[in-house]
Amino acid sequence: MATIVATENLSKRYGKRTVVEDLNLYIPEGEIYGFLGPNGSGKSTTMKMLLSLVQPSSGGVEIMGKPMDRSTRREHLGRIGSLIESPPGYGHLTGRENMRIIQRLLGLNDQQIEFAIATVRMQGQMDKKVRNYSLGMKQRLGIAMALAREPKLLILDEPTNGLDPAGIEEMRELLRTLADGGVTVMVSSHLLGEIDKSATMLGILSQGRMIFQGTRDELFSAATPDVLIRCDDPSRASELLANSADCRVDQGEVRVTELSERATAGIIAALVSERIAIYEVRRDEQTLEQVFMGLTEGGGL
Ligand SMILES: Nc1ncnc2c1ncn2[C@@H]1O[C@H](COP(=O)(O)OP(=O)(O)OP(=O)(O)O)[C@@H](O)[C@H]1O
Ligand SMILES: [Mg+2]
């Protein structure tokens, strides 16, 4: 599988402050790469460096196997669509007029324009002025503008920002449609759970550093979810385990943290020998936020 984006020790400093540090980002072709991290963690700065809108302080960017620099920038940008920070488009013009500007600017044909509009499902909205669009419609028009050139790579910075749950779900669906159409998509969000379900690969930033990069399954396999025990006497069970495990009573169940499989077998045997009746033992479902908190508390991977 070809690599669409690769960075080598990519860093950005503003004065003495390092805002992006030694990033080795890797996006294989065809993936939806969810680029996640809290506010200020360096997502937009990284995306701007990928697009050569911000000059790296050190390290480099390769797009489709070729370095991104002044001499290759034009060629690369012809094959990358992007939406950075607020959606583009002139408010006093209609959606169609905005698309026509893009068409002339890039020398595109009518089919490319119509295809982009249809992909974001905006056919019925093209004669309205952009200032009368909802935020979700503005984001979709922005994506159509980025998509019309038939890019190999789409870089979308927080396209779900400010959208309601229905708008977010539509955006997730659109990302999947784009990926099915063969476009590699990099999409950022400061809300960890917002795009992780449609992403096929995740990169998680914390304070300018990549603390995880890989699939969702790989991320969750690095974490140890709590064990929940439902039994006839949770208080006594919790007291019995207090010396050997980190546990507490939580909503009528015993919650034990950081327990390996072997240790789980051990505590169940101990409870049974103390005649505690065990009705159910299960691992808690973890959210991406919990896994993230676990990673950052431990100083990252
Ligand atoms: N031009 C600049 N000059 C100085 N500092 C900057 C500049 N641009 C960004 N920063 C700082 O770099 C850090 C990372 O900013 P960036 O916008 O990349 O984060 P982000 O992850 O996109 O955050 P958000 O989720 O809020 O969009 C922030 O602390 C920001 O204040
Ligand atoms: Mg940002």
Q: From ligand 1's centre to the CA of 207, what distance in Å?
A: 10
Q: Picking from 90-99, 217-226, 276-285, 286-295, which range would have the lowest pLDDT averaged per residue?
A: 286-295
Sequence ranges of the chain with CATH classification 3.30.70: 227-285
> Mind listing the pLDDT tens digit for each residue in 171-221?
888 888 889 988 999 999 988 777 777 899 999 999 999 999 998 888 887
Q: What is the number of residues in the chain?
A: 301
Residue-level pLDDT at 298: 52
C-alpha angle 270/222/23, rounded to 5°? 155
Residues linked to residue 60 through DSSP beta bridges, in sequence order: 8
CATH of domain 3-221: 3.40.50.300
Q: Which is nearest to 205 in space by CA: 88, 295, 83? A: 295
Q: How far apart are CA 84 and CA 66, in angstroms?
A: 22
Question: How does the average pLDDT of the chain come out, rounded?
Answer: 90
Sequence ranges of the chain with CATH classification 3.40.50.300: 3-221
Q: From ligand 2's centre to the CA of 119, what distance in Å?
A: 25
Residue-level pLDDT at 29: 94
Residue nearest to atom 24 of ligand 1 (CA): 39
Identify the CATH class of 227-285.
alpha beta
71 CB less than 6 Å from ligand 1? no
Residue nearest to atom 13 of ligand 1 (CA): 40
Q: Which atom of ligand 1 is nearest to the CA of 208?
A: 14
138 CB less than 6 Å from ligand 1? no
> How much is the average pLDDT of 139-143?
90
Q: From ligand 1's centre to the CA of 177, what distance in Å?
A: 30
Give 224 or 228, the one with higher predicted confidence.
Answer: 228
